Amino acid sequence: MSTPNGDAGRSDALVLFGATGDLAYKKIFPALYAMVKRGDLAAPVIGVARSMWDLERFQVRVRDSIAQDGGGIDDEHALGRLISLLGYVSIDYSDPATLAALRGALGDATRPAYYLAIPPSVFETVIAGLGGAGLADAARVIVEKPFGRDLASAKELNRFARSVFSEDSIFRIDHYLAKEEIMNLLYFRFANSFLEPIWNRNYVASFQITLAEDFGVEGRGAFYETAGCLRDVIENHLFQVVALLAMEPPTYRDFGALHSEKTDVFKAMKPLAADDLVRGQFVGYQNEPGVAKDSDVETFCALRLHIDSWRWAGVPWYLRSGKRLPKTVTEILVELKPPPQKLFEDSWPPDSPANYLRFRLAPDASIALAARVKRAGEEFLGDQRELLLLDTQPNKESPYERLLSDAMAGNGALFTREDTVEAAWAVVERVLATHHRSQPYKPGTWGPKQADKLIAPNGRWHNLAPADAASKQPTQ
């Protein structure tokens, strides 16, 4: 798969809006440090925020971030190089006149990349300010998710961004796409010939995709009130996973073809209706700071969707995600149909799935194939065992390292295209406004019981991750 280098050349400065925020502290500064260590960053890095800081305070913030959230300082020389690249400008986002200070800080840079690690409510204000100040020429803009909060707002934000920047200069970040484990899904699907003959409605019974977290909203109640689980996790992260699993092979080796195939998956998804969705809220959420006492926002969401394509017609896809669940784990389970004839008495076990493929994405990556094996003895009885492939890769790039480097190089392979964003929002558009009320669930459980009823026609959720005891028969 080829990766374009970009016609405009590499960005010669990185401007980080929201430089004093949590995202910059926890993710971006450690990524920049790793890029410097790798020799992948030598351009100026200009922090921009409303906070009335000076450069020295900003430099201390960056050092603290790397020491606390970046795994520690193990290369003082590299840290010194990063510190030397830093600049800082205090700007009032609503006052275009203050952008003149940014122009001065850019110095000789003519191809900056602007990273908007700021609330979505000020995206348009900042983009308009950059355009009005003449700072968008030959520049790129990197926009953090969420890109809109529904179809209408996504279209408006796309229209507005395109009025200032060209489409190939807009980089819409979903950091999930840059995870090594997610990229491996694409590779595993199309690099192995044994999979393609069975990867269709004739052999696959259902898909289950789970992204579970054992923690709550972690002081981000005010943000979660504006998002909820459907918007925050499923419409973007899990939909992207579905697209990689469901897409057709790209017709040529280019990421433009990959984007087109993914978009076709979203266009083939049947729009969700209220009965396709179960929303839950963990008991105690309404006591979180910033949360309304009568809040109906979901902290858990399970849904059933169908992809109306030749390959997947009739195959249900079950997605779920939630907070305060029993464990933090992300897994995909692809359940295969049972053998066409019941030759052995136990070949269709009533209380466990038929053969399956299991992709563990987090916390530890693995791929497993479950198959039945005969027990010793004269009787034809067996057990289902897993053939497990571990895929632990030390020293791999973090998602933000990869995304920042790619955006500055003009490589849009791991970013989301305009039509893809809008096609995904169209699938959930109806249920964002029309849905059943959130059902309470106790922290430490797998969500409300209604989620079990949702999947009941095709079995049940597989709540225990077999990789926790890889040498044993998996518990289902």
Please count the other Cβ atoms lying within 10 Å of the Cβ belonging to residue 17: 27
The arrangement of strands across the sheet holding 45-49 comes to 86-90, 45-49, 13-17, 112-116, 140-144, 170-173
- The two structure tokens encoding residue 305: 């969707």
> Could you give the CA distance from residue 1 to residue 24 in angstroms, rounded to a whole number?
31
Q: Quickly state the pLDDT bin for 176 (edges 50, 70, 90).
A: confident
For range 460-465, the mean pLDDT: 77
Flag whether pLDDT at 381 surpasses 90. no
Flag whether pLDDT at 474 surpasses 50. no
- CB distance 273 to 430 below 8 Å: yes
Specify the pLDDT at position 394.
62
Flag whether pLDDT at 343 surpasses 80. no
What domains are there in the chain, each with its CATH number?
13-144 (3.40.50.720), 177-469 (3.30.360.10)
- pLDDT, mean over the chain: 89
Residue pLDDT, tens place only, 212-242: 999 999 888 998 998 999 999 999 899 999 9
For range 338-352, the mean pLDDT: 72
For range 1-12, the mean pLDDT: 60
For range 152-161, the mean pLDDT: 93
User: Which of 49-53, 252-256, 438-442 shows the lowest mean pLDDT across its residues?
Assistant: 252-256
Specify the pLDDT at position 316.
98
Instruction: Just list the catalytic residues.
Output: 237
Specify the pLDDT at position 154.
92
- Select, from the ranges 378-382, 400-404, 429-433, the one with the highest average predicted confidence (pLDDT): 429-433
Q: Quickly state the pLDDT bin for 379 (edges 50, 70, 90).
A: confident
268 HSE (CA, 13 A, CB side): 21
Q: CA dist 369 to 145, 216, 361, 366, 422, Å?
A: 34, 32, 15, 10, 35
Flag whether pLDDT at 475 surpasses 60. no
Specify the pLDDT at position 3.
42
Specify the pLDDT at position 392.
66
Q: Quickly state the pLDDT bin for 472 (edges 50, 70, 90).
A: very low
Specify the pLDDT at position 364.
84
Specify the pLDDT at position 162.
94
Q: Quickly state the pLDDT bin for 101 (edges 50, 70, 90).
A: confident
Specify the pLDDT at position 471.
36
Tokens 């991750």 correspond to 465
> Could you give the CA distance from residue 12 to residue 16 in angstroms, rounded to a whole number?
13
Flag whether pLDDT at 470 surpasses 50. no
Over pLDDT 90: what percentage of the chain? 66
**3-state SS string over the chain?**
CECCCCCCCCCCEEEEECCCCHHHHHHHHHHHHHHHHCCCCCCCEEEEECCCCCHHHHHHHHHHHHHHCCCCCCCHHHHHHHHHHEEEEECCCCCHHHHHHHHHHHCCCCCEEEEECCCHHHHHHHHHHHHHCCCCCCCEEEEECCCCCCHHHHHHHHHHHHHHCCHHHEEEECHHHHCHHHHHHHHHHHHCCCCHHHCCCCCEEEEEEEEECCCCCCCCHHHHHHHHHHHHHHHHHHHHHHHHHHCCCCCCCEHHHHHHHHHHHHHHECCCCHHHEEEEEECCHHHCCCCCCCCCCCCEEEEEEEECCCCCCCCEEEEEEECCCCCCEEEEEEEECCCCCCCCCCCCCCCCCCCEEEEEEECCCEEEEEEEEECCCCCCCEEEEEEEEECCCCCCCCHHHHHHHHHHHCCCCCCECHHHHHHHHHHHHHHHHCCCCCEEECCCCCCCCHHHHHHHHHCCCCCCCHHHHCCCCCCC
Residue pLDDT, tens place only, 102-116: 988 999 999 999 999
> Could you give the CA distance from residue 9 to residue 468 in angstroms, rounded to a whole number?
46
Query: At 242, which amino acid appears?
Result: V
User: Which of 61-70, 76-85, 177-186 shows the lowest mean pLDDT across its residues?
Assistant: 177-186
Residue pLDDT, tens place only, 7-27: 448 999 999 999 999 999 999
Please count the other Cβ atoms lying within 10 Å of the Cβ belonging to residue 411: 19
Does residue 112 or residue 390 have the better pLDDT?
A: 112
Flag whether pLDDT at 5 surpasses 60. no
> Could you give the CA distance from residue 208 to residue 444 in angstroms, rounded to a whole number?
20
> Could you give the CA distance from residue 230 to residue 235 in angstroms, rounded to a whole number?
6
Specify the pLDDT at position 466.
43
Q: Quickly state the pLDDT bin for 353 (edges 50, 70, 90).
A: low
Residue pLDDT, tens place only, 307-341: 999 999 999 999 999 999 999 999 999 999 988 87
What angle in degrees, to the nearest 10, is found between the helix axes of 29-37 and 399-409?
A: 70
Residue pLDDT, tens place only, 240-296: 999 999 999 988 877 788 889 999 999 999 999 999 999 999 999 999 999 999 999
Specify the pLDDT at position 205.
95
Specify the pLDDT at position 243.
95
